[in-house]
């Protein structure tokens, strides 16, 4: 965080509209693997991009259903980390504070962030793969390991997440673009910045004159375009930053 100049610190401190754009790295210190980490155990032999597609679900609904069931179980067993909590604290001090996340784990909301736009959905919400409406617990029984069937139309159920080749949820996407265009400051935390259209959000803020700060232990394609790029992790840098910006 020392790489942030006093000028940038004061712009962060004075921001009335702020967006935090997050990716899988935001949840890494909670114990949730990123898309770049080798998928542990059972899933090591699959590429996420081979499982997160409508074609994979059509080809092998049981495999895709079980992969998301494994991810749901993993997330249920972890806690939001200090980075998620720092954002929930920070939002209480800023007039317009929006978290725009690519993550589907719901950890921002569990930490107390209440304006969270989920660009790629949420793996805890289950929907009918044919009609799209949410099917709440208790889910119908699962036949031979495959996805449960919709109680209305008997189509397989699926997680309410965006798969490769699918459109982003309209309201979340519109809201994210609006927030990015109005932001005085945008932080990009824990994302490789490779998956569009989501990865365009920090660039949109830059084009509208925002101060854009990246937080990532590694460089990304965004690193040379942003106002400042901090080499560090979400759970280390965000609490230190929120502490530094705390009103004296």
| Of the candidates 50, 103, 43, the residue with the CA atom closest to the CA atom of residue 70 | 43
Task: Provide, rounded to whole angstroms, the least separation between the CB of residue 2 and ligand OAD.
Answer: 17
Look-up: residue for tokens 């909301």?
109
For residues 183 and 210, the answer to whether their CB atoms sit within 8 Å is yes
Using CB under 6 A as the binding rule, whether residue 216 contacts ligand OAD is answered as yes
138, burial (CB in 10 Å: exposed 0-12, middle 13-18, buried 19+): exposed
| Of the candidates 116, 126, 36, 32, the residue with the CA atom closest to the CA atom of residue 76 | 32
β-bridge partners, 185: 18, 211
Task: Provide, rounded to whole angstroms, the least separation between the CB of residue 42 and ligand OAD.
Answer: 19
Interacting positions 9-28 with ligand OAD (CB under 6 A)? 23-25, 28
Among 32, 51, 52, 126, binds ligand OAD (CB under 6 A): 52
Task: Provide, rounded to whole angstroms, the least separation between the CB of residue 170 and ligand OAD.
Answer: 16
Using CB under 6 A as the binding rule, whether residue 218 contacts ligand OAD is answered as yes
* 208: annotated active-site residue: no
Nearest to ligand OAD of 149, 193 (CB atom): 193
First to last CA, the chain: 19
Interacting positions 104-133 with ligand OAD (CB under 6 A)? 120
Task: Provide, rounded to whole angstroms, the least separation between the CB of residue 164 and ligand OAD.
Answer: 6
Among 66, 85, 129, 192, binds ligand OAD (CB under 6 A): 192
Structure tokens at 133: 């409406």
C-alpha–C-alpha distance, residues 215 and 192, integer Å: 11
Query: How far does CA 246 lie from the centroid of its chain?
Result: 25
Contact positions vs ligand OAD (CB under 6 A): 23-25, 28-29, 34-36, 48-49, 52, 102, 120, 162, 164, 190-192, 194-195, 216-218, 220, 233-234
**Active site residue ranges:** 120
């Amino acid at each position: 965080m020392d790489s942030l100049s006093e000028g940038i610190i004061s712009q962060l401190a004075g921001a009335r509209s702020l967006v935090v754009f997050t990716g899988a790295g935001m949840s890494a210190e909670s114990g949730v693997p990123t898309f770049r980490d080798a998928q542990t155990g059972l899933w090591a032999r699959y590429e996420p991009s081979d499982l997160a597609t409508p074609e994979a679900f059509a080809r092998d609904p049981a495999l895709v259903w079980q992969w998301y069931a494994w991810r749901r179980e993993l997330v249920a067993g972890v806690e939001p980390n200090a980075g998620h909590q720092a954002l929930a604290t920070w939002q209480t001090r800023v007039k317009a504070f929006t978290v725009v996340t690519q993550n589907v784990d719901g950890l921002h909301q569990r930490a107390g962030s209440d304006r969270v736009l989920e660009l790629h959905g949420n793996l805890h919400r289950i929907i009918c793969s044919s009609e799209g409406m949410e099917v709440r617990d208790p889910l119908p029984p699962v036949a031979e390991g495959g996805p449960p069937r919709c109680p209305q139309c008997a189509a397989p159920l699926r997680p309410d997440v965006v798969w490769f080749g699918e459109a982003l949820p309209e309201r979340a996407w519109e809201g994210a673009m609006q927030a990015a265009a109005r932001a005085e400051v945008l932080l990009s935390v824990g994302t490789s910045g490779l998956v569009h259209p989501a990865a365009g959000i920090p660039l949109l803020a830059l084009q509208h004159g925002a101060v854009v700060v990246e937080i990532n232990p590694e460089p990304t394609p965004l690193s040379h375009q942003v106002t400042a790029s901090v080499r560090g992790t979400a759970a280390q840098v965000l609490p230190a930053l929120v502490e530094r910006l705390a009103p004296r």
